[in-house]
Amino acid sequence: MLNDFGGQNNKFSIEKNFIHLRMIYDQKTAQQTAKFLLQINAIKLNPKNPYTWASGWKSPIYCDNRISLSYPEIRNYLAKKIGEQAQKIYGQDYVVAGVATGAIGIGMLVADVLNTPFIYVRPEPKSHGRQNQIEGQINPNQKVLVIEDLISTGKSSLNAVKALQKNGIEVLGMLGLFDYGFQLAIDNFKAAEVQLHTLSDYDHLILEAEKSEYVEPEEISVLQSWRVSPSEWKPS
């Protein structure tokens, strides 16, 4: 069974009461988001001299969406678009939760757009004081919408979901700025039965990079090959 939500580019398949996102929310927003992130160097592409991630993976792309917070016009655009998406999908009766540390800033901005309470979730409980993992005021009977700035494997994002659920909080789903589109992340979100929607993704980034001549034409195939098997990819 396929449902359209917000246009033909946002199709979902329903399996065992779990809605799995198959495409991004909106093509125009995805393209504009990718354009902004490239313009301000929140996302850098360097196929000839790859970056090394903390995981040890070699990668032709490096992403730090927190840079968008330094650009008022862009951060407001991103927060507004996530807010619009949140209202269409989930309404307004929930608390917004940012995943620390990257999504605290954008999460607060989204909460402002929605005029809803905000909390954030640490990777693990503090080792001192009240030893909180969840910072902010929330009750177990409240619902939460999680905001993330970047989805790679999904493990750290879903760790925040688990922390919320462990405290008896219902997680409606997760909205993010950018998704690499790894199969591993798709599998992880499916296993956790968590809905994921993002403003933009790797496919739209490559389209924008090619359109704007951010990279050489022959480098496009390198960028495309990396996403297929990032853990094993090596620069040629």
Domains delineated in the chain = 2-223 (3.40.50.2020)
Whole-model pTM over 0.85: yes
Retrieve residue 164's tokens: 């919320």
Q: DSSP letter string over 140-205?
A: TT-EEEEEEEEESSSHHHHHHHHHHHHTTPEEEEEEEEEE---HHHHHHHHHHT--EEEEEEHHHH
The pLDDT confidence band at residue 6, using thresholds 50, 70 and 90, is: very low
Rg (CA), the chain: 18
pLDDT the model gives residue 163: 96
pLDDT digit string, tens, across residues 194-225: 999 999 999 999 999 999 999 999 999 999 99
Retrieve residue 134's tokens: 């969840």
Q: Tell me how far apart the alpha carbons of residues 215 and 206 are, in angstroms, rounded to a whole number.
A: 9
Q: Tell me how far apart the alpha carbons of residues 54 and 187 are, in angstroms, rounded to a whole number.
A: 21
Residue 44 region by backbone torsions, left for phi larger than 0, else alpha for psi between -120 and 50, else beta: beta
